[in-house]
Amino acid sequence: MNRLLLIDDDQELCELLTRWLTQEGFQVTACHDAGGARQALVTHAPEAVVLDVMLPDGSGLELLKQLRGEHPELPVLMLSARGEPLDRILGLELGADDYLAKPCDPRELTARLRAVLRRTVPAPASSQLELGDLRFSPNRGVVSIGEHDVPLTLSESRLLEALLQQPGEPVDKQALAQLALGRKLTLYDRSLDMHVSNLRKKLGPHPDGRPRILALRSRGYYYAQ
């Protein structure tokens, strides 16, 4: 039974989603503000978080920022009535693994959560990918560039693993989305592009200034050797 932390100030919605998700096999802890969420993160050690953008005692985006600093690999799905593209982009830029606008179908939320949790299964401890100055251990979720360790979110980790498996060869966007997000991209869905953009920023360029991750029109993304 997966432990889930649900953070939303809409108590009626929380009760509805808690009943649904409990029936679907989740152990749900619900809280309605950022203060309660911070405490629940310590006491309940959730395996995934569903987080609303608007909270009564602060911004959910600020809480997401804190989460990413302290728990970079914890899967976070943003759930908010503010479904505008800019809000989605901000959430993804700050490291959310996925985003759903309210009102949402509980079945879709369940499917997204199961998809992201499937990707938390650790890789064998011995597996390590090396290319030039980059060393990556998928099971740790940390990439080493030279002497520096860079923590990655779950989605970023899965993305980098897929790209390093075949450096120099483009990986189709839909294939990457399935690997990194656990689902197919929908029309006008920029989730994958935002995760790639975040990963690029974290990795920085090659020592000679060349970008590490490049896009090939109509073919996808690839890691440049």
Q: Which domain holds residue 151?
A: 129-223
pLDDT of residue 63: 92
Q: What is the pLDDT of residue 54?
A: 86
Confidence of residue 128 (pLDDT cuts 50, 70, 90): confident
- Cβ neighbors of 67 (< 8 A, separation 6 or more) are 41, 49, 51, 74, 76, 95
Asked whether residue 94 falls in the same domain as residue 189, the answer is: no
| Nearest of 110, 89, 95, 100 to residue 28 by alpha carbon | 110
Q: Write the DSSP assignment of 57-118 as a string of letters.
A: TEEHHHHHHHHHHH-TTS-EEEEES---HHHHHHHHHTT-SEEEESS--HHHHHHHHHHHHH
With a cut of 80, say whether residue 125 has pLDDT above it: no
CATH number of the domain encompassing residue 179: 1.10.10.10
On whether both 216 and 141 belong to a single domain, the answer is yes
- 86 and 106 in a common domain: yes
Instruction: Give the mean pLDDT of the chain.
Output: 88
Q: Give the pair of three-digit tokens for residue 174.
A: 């839909």
At residue 17, the pLDDT reads 94
Give me the number of domains the chain comprises: 2
Is 123 within the bounds of a domain? no
The pLDDT of residue 94: 87
Domain-ending residue, one of 118, 144, 176: 118
Judge if 74 and 139 occupy the same domain: no
* pLDDT, average across residues 112-119: 85
CATH number at residue 62: 3.40.50.2300
